[in-house]
Amino acid sequence: MQCYHRRIPLFLSAVFVLGLARADAGFILQSASFGGNTYHLVAENSLGERITWGNAEAFAVTLGGHLVTVNDAAENDFLLTTFQALANASKATAHPFGGLLSMWIGYNDAGAEGSFLWSGGGGTGYSNWAASEPFGGAPDEDFVAILATSEFALAGEWHDVVSDFRFNDVTYGLVEVSNAIAVPEPGSLVLLTGGATLLYGCGWVRGRFRRRRTNLTAL
């Protein structure tokens, strides 16, 4: 049996450093539950400033999930009706002169133009593109968002967007986290406790072995 406990401080240090590095890239504005999962509306920071697709996806991963995979119309409706009010309020505060207001989802064709995939996987084939979308007017218009207000199309419909704000889009992220990951079940706590005991016991057994080997050498 191998013991891994000496590697844990190094791992925790790496997590801590990464956490510091990403301290400003991601802030949860609002959370809600639906269909057994937890959802977050996220901004770049506590000021409610807009966030790029890449920063929103990276922040989602630190929360244990991804930008949302929209599986059906019910989930799409939940996202719009739950989060559009605060997205509007955040835009009014942080970007009063901003353009289209949208909320990022995980759908993107950054890997291969025209081939849209979900960053979190698990798609069902459902989509809710606005008429004439995906438009792809710019080569890097690769990231999909739900319109939070009715503009050129209806609120709740999707369009593909560039992720660097150069067309003055105001975008917030929609994160989806499986509750099976986000909330440790009592059984998980037992496993954690058991694991800690095993690590402690691992060191104790090796210590005993060393002492016994030392004693044999002394003989």
Where along the sequence are the contacts to Ca ion (CB under 5 A)?
Answer: 69, 71, 109, 136, 142
- What does the alpha-carbon distance between residue 174 and residue 79 come to, in Å, rounded to a whole number? 8
Q: Which is nearer to Ca ion, 110 or 153 (CB)?
A: 110
| Torsional class of 151: left (φ above 0), alpha (ψ -120 to 50), beta (otherwise) | alpha
User: Residue number with the shortest CB distance to Ca ion?
Assistant: 142
Classify residue 66 by its DSSP letter: E
Tokens representing 190 are 């037992």
Per DSSP, 6 falls in state G
Pick 136 or 203: Cβ nearer Ca ion: 136
Q: Is the CB of 139 or the CB of 187 nearer to Ca ion?
A: 139
What DSSP character marks residue 69?
A: P
Beta carbon nearer to Ca ion, 22 or 34: 34
Minimum CB distance to Ca ion, residue 167 (Å): 14
Closer CB to Ca ion, 138 or 154, in the complex:
138
Question: For residue 160, how far is the Cα from the chain centroid?
Answer: 19
Shortest CB 104 distance to Ca ion, Å: 14
Q: Which residues of 111-144 are buried (b: 16+ CB within 10 A; e: fewer)?
A: eeeeebebbbeeeeeeebbbeebbeeeeeebbbb
